């Protein structure tokens, strides 16, 4: 049986899927696209070319989407993924709850868009259960939507294995889940019944069932838009925006902010966490590099929030204090983001028989930073080269939020390898997270001195200069970044950016420059 497909047809299909589902495969990943498509055609019992022509023949039907989503989507998620995000959400929710209590309007509407197998919306439900002692008197709706019906089936079942609990303390797990044997745990009905799951394709304009325009307080749409095509991102943002209440919030990941050079949202100033507020009027600057829109008093707090905090005084809860400066998107010290290449390098310097070192790396990759640190502190020099060990320690401490320790170790790493531009870049991200912007700028300058075409560092430096009012140098640096970007193909993934293409960064900078002028 002849079962091949012409390249032009494959590319047309790639565009069609990007348009209908948001799934975007850059040209350099076309072989991966083809591998997945072979599975799709097999499931439909068709040859590749005839299957492609059939799928290209108009808008995809729900049955077609189900099969395609099954083979193309990635189901990586876990409970309380990125604890910093949930801390911020808790802060925002407590604030909203206080306001609603005062107005005697006890309702909350949350949406997890691209919820995968349900860990994200169930984490929201568990959090609300904890912070709302009178939850039974509230009307709460939490809707989880996804394009992949298989993921939703699993979400509705509510049975999970160890991988989903990788950062959840066992006391929390045991409070809400029942051990059903074979390493599996079943979520109890009190949390399960708080979440409704429904199929929803973010790339279509229609709202999913259960989502009323203008009614949603908080949308989580994390790790979904990152590989969407820019045109699709714009459409999805407009849809999410129209689902929100007037002061509703959208939570994405910092790296996804790069796609959101958009006037529909303003960024709130939480370092390392990308929370966007529906804009009442056009934002003064696109969100990717925007100055904070939250006004802080001498205590570093939003004054409205402080008032509520005082009203609630007596409650043990401490509001996290938002920082005054918003770090630019690429330099967010997100786990395994701009620094993952450094971890890969560090791992290469591990001796082949070094079990402790390999375990440390596995812990790092699973986000178990405390355990990673414990292992690394026990690894001896025959198992792992010292520069690699200290670099990984710096990264693990940084991702675990212990920034002073991260600084100590990154300085040690630099002591071992003074000419390594990546180490200065990591140092800059740590300094930036500490709010030491002038020092972060100095570290970025050092990185660029050693590697003048280090494009991500150049972009970050330009963003920081912009934030600190040095607009002329910032503009020069942004233009310089554009020049360096020309050396790349549009779809090339930029070094140490974890997935940002040259084309996307170019568009963002062009938008920033246009807006600034
Ligand atoms: C990596 S998971 C992220 C899960 C969760 N939001 C998190 O951050 O842990 C991405 C999810 O997006 C879903 N997805 C991809 N394209 C989508 C689309 N067009 N509409 C809705 N969901 C989509 C996938 O099926 C997958 O479940």
Q: Transcribe 180-222 into DSSP letters.
A: EETTEEEE-HHHHTTEEEEE--TTSSSPPTT--TT-EEEEE--
**Is the beta carbon of 123 within 6 A of some atom in ligand 1?**
no
430, 398 in Cβ contact below 8 A? yes
Confidence band for 48, pLDDT divided at 50, 70 and 90: very high
Confidence band for 304, pLDDT divided at 50, 70 and 90: very low
In the sheet with 107-113, reading across from the earlier edge strand, the strands are 195-199, 139-146, 107-113, 216-220, 244-252, 274-278, 265-267
CA distances (Å), origin 158, targets 73, 86, 135, 162, 407? 20, 20, 21, 13, 41
Among 69, 165, 224, 233, name the best residue to mutate to test ligand 1's pocket (greatest count of ligand atoms within 8 A of Cβ): 224
CA distances (Å), origin 147, targets 67, 73, 421? 10, 9, 41
Q: Which residues contact 323 (CB under 8 A, 6 or more apart)?
A: 269, 270, 271, 300, 435
Highest mean pLDDT among 165-174, 196-205, 297-306: 196-205
Closest CA to 300 of 285, 315, 280, 320: 320
Query: Looking at ligand 1, which residue's alpha carbon is closest to its atom 14?
Result: 114
The residue-averaged pLDDT of 352-356 equals 69
- Residue-level pLDDT at 2: 60
Q: Compute, in angstroms, the gap from residue 15 CA to the centroid of ligand 1.
A: 19
Residue 98 pLDDT > 80, yes or no?
yes
**Is the beta carbon of 161 within 6 A of some atom in ligand 1?**
no
Residue 296 burial class via C-beta count within 10 angstroms: exposed 0-12, middle 13-18, buried 19 and up: middle
How does pLDDT run across 124-160, given as a tens digit for each residue?
999 999 999 999 999 999 999 999 999 999 999 999 9
The residue-averaged pLDDT of 375-399 equals 85
Output the pTM of the full model. Answer: 0.61
Confidence band for 471, pLDDT divided at 50, 70 and 90: confident
Q: Compute, in angstroms, the gap from residue 376 CA to the centroid of ligand 1.
A: 34
- Residue-level pLDDT at 92: 94
How far is CA 306 from its chain centroid?
Answer: 28
> Which region among 228-237, 254-263, 346-355 has the lowest average model confidence (pLDDT)?
346-355
* 54 against 162, higher pLDDT: 54
User: Strand pairing partners for 135?
Assistant: none
- Phi and psi at residue 160, in whole multiples of 5°? -130, 155
> How many Cα atoms within 13 Å fall on the side-chain side of residue 154?
17
Q: Compute, in angstroms, the gap from residue 310 CA to the centroid of ligand 1.
A: 39
Sign of the CA dihedral running 293, 298, 300, 304: negative
**Is the beta carbon of 223 within 6 A of some atom in ligand 1?**
yes
- Residue-level pLDDT at 262: 65
Distance CA 271, CA 273 (A): 6
294, 302 in Cβ contact below 8 A? yes
Among 22, 147, 498, name the best residue to mutate to test ligand 1's pocket (greatest count of ligand atoms within 8 A of Cβ): 147
**Is the beta carbon of 146 within 6 A of some atom in ligand 1?**
yes
How far is CA 171 from its chain centroid?
Answer: 26
**Is the beta carbon of 147 within 6 A of some atom in ligand 1?**
yes
Distance CA 116, CA 23 (A): 15
The residue-averaged pLDDT of 179-194 equals 94
Residue 53 pLDDT > 80, yes or no?
yes
- Residue-level pLDDT at 319: 20
Distance CA 457, CA 448 (A): 7
Mean pLDDT (the chain) is: 80
- Residue-level pLDDT at 291: 28
- Is residue 267 left, alpha or beta, with left meaning phi > 0 and alpha meaning psi from -120 to 50? beta
Quote the percentage of the chain above a pLDDT of 70. 83
The residue-averaged pLDDT of 376-390 equals 83
Bridge pairing between strands 265-267 and 274-278 = antiparallel
Confidence band for 352, pLDDT divided at 50, 70 and 90: low
**Is the beta carbon of 315 within 6 A of some atom in ligand 1?**
no
Residue 347 pLDDT > 80, yes or no?
no
Among 113, 146, 198, 207, name the best residue to mutate to test ligand 1's pocket (greatest count of ligand atoms within 8 A of Cβ): 146
Confidence band for 350, pLDDT divided at 50, 70 and 90: low
- Residue-level pLDDT at 337: 28
Confidence band for 254, pLDDT divided at 50, 70 and 90: confident
Counting from 1 in the atom list of ligand 1, the atom nearest the Cα of 220 is 6
Closest CA to 73 of 144, 5, 20, 146: 146
* 179 against 73, higher pLDDT: 179
* 444 against 170, higher pLDDT: 444
Q: Compute, in angstroms, the gap from residue 116 CA to the centroid of ligand 1.
A: 5
- Residue-level pLDDT at 358: 82
Residue 284 pLDDT > 50, yes or no?
no
278, 241 in Cβ contact below 8 A? yes
- Residue-level pLDDT at 51: 96
Quote the percentage of the chain above a pLDDT of 90. 45
Closest CA to 117 of 195, 171, 25: 195
Neighbours of 424 (CB within 10 A): 24
Highest mean pLDDT among 7-11, 118-122, 362-366: 118-122
CA distances (Å), origin 292, targets 302, 334, 470? 11, 19, 16
**Is the beta carbon of 202 within 6 A of some atom in ligand 1?**
yes
Distance CA 203, CA 233 (A): 8
- Residue-level pLDDT at 516: 62
Q: Is residue 415 within a helix (H) or strand (E), and if so which, with residue range?
A: helix 403-416
Q: Is residue 122 within a helix (H) or strand (E), and if so which, with residue range?
A: helix 119-131
> How many Cα atoms within 13 Å fall on the side-chain side of residue 35?
5
- Is residue 511 left, alpha or beta, with left meaning phi > 0 and alpha meaning psi from -120 to 50? alpha
Neighbours of 516 (CB within 10 A): 14
> Which region among 264-278, 293-307, 469-483 has the lowest average model confidence (pLDDT)?
293-307
Distance CA 23, CA 37 (A): 13
Residue 137 burial class via C-beta count within 10 angstroms: exposed 0-12, middle 13-18, buried 19 and up: exposed
**Is the beta carbon of 20 within 6 A of some atom in ligand 1?**
no
> Which region among 67-71, 156-160, 192-196 has the lowest average model confidence (pLDDT)?
67-71
Distance CA 112, CA 504 (A): 25
**Is the beta carbon of 65 within 6 A of some atom in ligand 1?**
no
Distance CA 345, CA 349 (A): 7
């Amino acid at each position: 049986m002849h079962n091949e497909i012409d390249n032009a047809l494959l590319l047309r299909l790639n565009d069609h899927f990007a348009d209908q589902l948001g799934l975007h495969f850059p040209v350099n990943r076309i072989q991966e696209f083809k591998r997945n498509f072979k599975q799709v055609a097999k499931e439909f019992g068709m040859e590749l070319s005839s299957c492609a022509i059939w799928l290209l023949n108009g808008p995809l039907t729900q049955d077609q989407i189900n099969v395609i989503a099954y083979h193309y989507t990635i189901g990586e998620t876990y409970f309380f993924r990125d604890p910093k995000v949930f801390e911020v959400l808790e802060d925002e929710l407590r604030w909203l709850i206080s306001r609603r209590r005062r107005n005697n309007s006890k309702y909350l509407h949350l949406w997890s868009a691209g919820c995968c197998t349900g860990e994200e919306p169930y984490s929201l439900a568990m959090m609300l259960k904890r912070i709302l002692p009178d939850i039974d008197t509230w009307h709460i709706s939490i809707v989880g939507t996804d394009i992949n019906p298989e993921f939703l089936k699993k979400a509705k079942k509510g049975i999970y294995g160890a991988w989903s609990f990788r950062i959840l303390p066992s006391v929390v797990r045991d409070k809400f889940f029942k051990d059903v044997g074979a390493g599996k745990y079943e979520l109890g009905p009190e949390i399960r019944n708080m979440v409704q799951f429904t199929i929803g394709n973010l790339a279509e304009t229609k709202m999913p069932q259960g989502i009323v325009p203008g009614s949603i307080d908080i949308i989580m749409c994390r790790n979904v838009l990152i590989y969407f095509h820019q045109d699709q991102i714009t459409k999805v943002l407009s849809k999410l925006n129209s689902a929100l209440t007037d002061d509703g919030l959208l939570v994405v990941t910092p790296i996804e902010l790069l796609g959101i050079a958009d006037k529909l949202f303003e960024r709130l100033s939480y370092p390392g966490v990308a929370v966007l507020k529906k804009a009442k009027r056009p934002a003064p600057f696109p969100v990717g590099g925007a100055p904070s829109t939250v006004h802080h008093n001498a205590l570093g707090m939003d004054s409205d929030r402080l008032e509520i905090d005082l009203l609630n005084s007596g409650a043990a809860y401490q509001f996290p204090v938002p920082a005054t400066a918003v770090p630019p998107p690429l330099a967010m010290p997100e786990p395994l983001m701009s620094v993952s290449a450094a971890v890969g390098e560090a791992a290469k310097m591990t001796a082949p028989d070094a079990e402790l070192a390999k375990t440390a790396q596995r812990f790092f990759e699973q986000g178990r930073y405390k355990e990673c640190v414990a292992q690394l502190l026990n690894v001896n020099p025959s198992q792992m080269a010292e520069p690699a060990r200290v670099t990984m320690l710096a990264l693990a401490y940084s991702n675990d939020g212990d920034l002073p320790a991260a600084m100590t170790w990154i300085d040690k790493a630099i002591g071992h390898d003074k000419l390594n531009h990546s180490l200065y870049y990591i140092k800059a991200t740590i300094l930036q997270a500490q709010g030491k912007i002038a020092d972060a700028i100095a570290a970025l300058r050092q990185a660029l001195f050693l590697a003048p075409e280090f494009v991500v560092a150049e972009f970050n430096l330009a963003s920081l200069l912009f934030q600190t009012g040095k607009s002329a140098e910032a503009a020069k640096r942004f233009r310089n970044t554009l020049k360096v970007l020309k050396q790349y193909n549009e779809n090339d993934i930029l070094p140490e950016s974890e997935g940002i293409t040259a084309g996307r960064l170019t568009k963002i900078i062009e938008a920033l420059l246009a807006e600034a002028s």
